[in-house]
């Protein structure tokens, strides 16, 4: 059985992700869709504040949390009822605690084949110092992650850009990309983005793409070299230029200090691309 985990916070983007996932599940056999909602427990500060400077006693915070919990349970039950007669297995689950931690633990415990989640993106200070739960999942998930920002039907995904430098010919990544291509019956564009800081001749770049394509027996693939000022910008621009339906990338999942130094092109693309982005954490 193919298991798809959908983190769900009742936002507009989360609904887009759920719609994408259920439409995809309807096209496949033997699928289990699990919708996960993580209910964040409010900090026990004794008092909270409202907009006008009013103080809320802790008891009122607790009452609000209980009411919110009951509302979320009812909403999840409504989802269960909506999909109970679907062609795929559908379950819901509520966890308490930090959103990213709850999602990360569920991925480790349940070992899904795919995570589909909504993303609003972020910018400025939030992007540099905080990032989003989506970015953290992309960085740490041990399975592929599809991020969705706008409504899209899986049947409309016919052109996928796979961006890489093709220096590391990972059989695992190649197998994942093949499955992705097969899943959507899509045409693949293998692209290397050439930047001023990483310049090389088109001949060198194309040789690596051709080697990767031949070694792992890919079909229906086009090789492209795209010049841009940055890798992230080039990937997004190229996808826009060819009107691609999805961007696919592998990430190394760096964390902590090294992540702050090197950044992550995949996370930047997830943050700023308008198209769905498929990412997979490759083994380092």
- For the stretch 214-258, pLDDT in tens is 999 998 899 999 999 999 999 999 999 999 999 999 886 554 444
pLDDT score of 127: 38
pLDDT band at 58 (very low <50, low <70, confident <90, very high): low
pLDDT top residue among 126 and 146: 146
What is the rounded distance in angstroms from the CA atom of residue 106 to the CA atom of residue 137? 11
The pLDDT confidence band at residue 260, using thresholds 50, 70 and 90, is: very low
Surface-to-core class of residue 204, CB atoms within 10 Å of its CB (0-12 exposed, 13-18 middle, 19+ buried) = exposed
Cα-based angle 22, 23, 25 (whole degrees, multiple of 5): 60
Name the token pair of 142: 């041990």
* CB contact set of 238 (below 8 Å; sequence gap of 6+): 161, 163, 189, 191, 193, 224, 226, 228, 244
Q: Are 234 and 228 in contact (CB under 8 A)?
A: yes
Structure tokens at 248: 């696919």
pLDDT score, position 88:
95
Report pLDDT for 262. 45
Dihedral angle sign, alpha carbons of residues 121, 124, 136, 283:
positive
Q: Is the pLDDT of residue 3 over 50?
A: yes
Output the pLDDT for position 45.
45
Owner of token pair 């919110």:
68
Q: Is the pLDDT of residue 114 over 80?
A: yes
Tell me: the pLDDT tens digits for 142-180? 899 999 999 999 999 999 999 998 887 788 889 999 999
CA 185/CA 103 separation, integer angstroms:
29
């Amino acid at each position: 059985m193919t298991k798809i985990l959908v983190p769900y916070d009742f936002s507009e983007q989360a609904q887009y992700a759920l719609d994408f996932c259920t439409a995809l599940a309807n096209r496949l056999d033997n699928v289990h869709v699990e919708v996960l909602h993580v209910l964040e427990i409010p900090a026990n500060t004794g008092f909270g504040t409202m907009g006008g400077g009013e103080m809320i006693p802790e008891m009122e915070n607790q009452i609000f949390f209980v009411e919110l919990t009951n509302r979320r349970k009812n909403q999840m039950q409504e989802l269960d009822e909506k999909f109970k007669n679907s062609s795929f297995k559908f379950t819901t689950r509520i966890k308490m605690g930090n959103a990213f931690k709850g999602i990360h633990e569920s991925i480790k415990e349940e070992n899904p084949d795919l995570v589909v989640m909504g993303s609003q993106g972020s910018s400025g200070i939030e992007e540099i110092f905080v990032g989003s739960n989506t970015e953290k999942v992309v960085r740490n998930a041990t399975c592929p992650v599809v991020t969705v920002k706008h409504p899209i039907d899986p049947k409309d995904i016919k052109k996928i850009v796979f961006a890489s430098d093709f220096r590391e010919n990972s059989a695992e990544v190649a197998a994942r990309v093949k499955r992705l291509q097969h899943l959507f019956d899509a045409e693949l564009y293998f692209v290397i983005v050439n930047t001023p800081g990483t310049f090389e001749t088109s001949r060198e770049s194309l040789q690596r793409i051709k080697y990767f394509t031949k070694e792992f027996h890919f079909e229906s693939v086009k090789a492209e070299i795209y010049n841009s000022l940055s890798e992230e910008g080039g990937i997004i621009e190229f996808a826009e230029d060819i009107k691609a339906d999805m961007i696919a990338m592998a990430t190394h999942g760096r964390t902590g200090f090294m992540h702050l130094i090197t950044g992550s092109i995949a996370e930047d693309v997830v943050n700023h691309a308008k198209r769905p982005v498929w990412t997979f954490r490759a083994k380092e």
